[in-house]
Structure 1
Amino acid sequence: MDQREFRNTVGTFATGVTIITAKGEDGKNIGLTANAFSSLSLDPPLILVCIDKKSSSVPAFQKGRPFVVNILSEEQENDCWSFAKGGVDKFVNAQYELSPNGVPILKENLSTIICDVFEVLEGGDHVIVTGFVKEISRNEEKKPLIFYGGNICKLTVPAYSNK
């Protein structure tokens, strides 16, 4: 199968955009943009995120270690692209605070999910990190940043409704 055509085909599935943050083994802040994110289970509360095996961030995701899923709002497009780059200090222009366990939480998030690594599974050229959800928050006034067809998009619908 042609990899480019496969990528283009799955790219027709519109997704939200997340930045996954953690602390590296050396104590430095780690962050990466990911759109391969999903809820997994309500009981127990689990999520999953897929990370490229070539990412230098992979060693930070070991069982029991904390991480944060920052679900981006449309105001965070610059963060999306900054955290997608490798080999740079991704936090230099980012506005963030630290969670109680020292993991960066980006400001202006649509939603924030604080987790501990539950399990790490093999998934082809990615690892599948499952997270046990410890804390959640959301901002119903914001709208999501959307990724579709290799581009960032914004919704033209009202903010989240719990109806």
Structure 2
Amino acid sequence: MIEPREFRNTVGHFATGITVITTINGKEKIGLTANAFSSLSLDPPLILVCIDKRSGSLKALKRDHPFAVNLLKKSQETECWRYAKSSGDKFEGAAYKLSEDGVPILEDNLATIECVVADIIEGGDHYIVTGLVKNASYDDQGEPLIFFRGKIEQLELAKTVEL
């Protein structure tokens, strides 16, 4: 079987966007950086995000619990690192508003997807959290913040071609 480091280096060649997952646990605001995110289904509208089993943020994610996926734009690298740390008040000094469910929504995102937890599935050293999408918004002029080969990158968009 492939060694974990070699596997990580290999899958690191797949460029991904960077998200910040936000939720609440009582009055506590919770946020964590994740790049293992994907759309899952159009009907019903579902997404998935993979979260390390060691994450303290998992305690808040239960079936039918609200959360948001904040897709970061290239100007939000500071937000990426803010929510990647494991301690302290990650929201201190952050620009956010609260959703109707009280979930923090980061301001000036590339896109925001508001969900409720549909299911939590065990997957190796992570949990796969699926979310039923309740609301979504996006900035169609923004450019994404990218994770590639273990580094944060900024993608410059070329002219788009209609397919």
Alpha-carbon distance in 1 for matches of 2:160, 2:28: 34
Alpha-carbon distance in 2 for matches of 1:162, 1:104: 35
Contact 1:143 1:159 survives alignment (8 Å): no
1:162–1:101 CA distance, 2 compared to 1 (3 A): farther
Alpha-carbon distance in 1 for matches of 2:57, 2:93: 19
Alpha-carbon distance in 2 for matches of 1:39, 1:51: 15
Q: Shift of residue 87 of structure 1?
A: 1.1
Unaligned ranges ≥5, structure 2: none
Within 5 A, what are the aligned runs for 1:13-162? Answer: 13-24=14-25, 26-158=26-158
TM-score for both structures, normalised by structure 2:
0.95
- Percent identity (aligned): 56
TM-score for both structures, normalised by structure 1:
0.95
Q: Shift of residue 27 of structure 1?
A: 2.1
Alpha-carbon distance in 1 for matches of 2:29, 2:161: 33
Alpha-carbon distance in 2 for matches of 1:16, 1:103: 21
Contact 1:141 1:160 survives alignment (8 Å): no
1:36-86 per-residue CA deviation (whole Å, 9 max, x = no partner) reads 000000000000000001000101110000000000011110000110000
Count of aligned positions: 162
Give the letter aligned to residue 62 of structure 1: K
1:160–1:52 CA distance, 2 compared to 1 (3 A): farther
Q: Shift of residue 88 of structure 1?
A: 1.6
The 4+ residue runs of structure 1 with deviation greater than 2 A are 158-163
Alpha-carbon distance in 2 for matches of 1:155, 1:105: 23
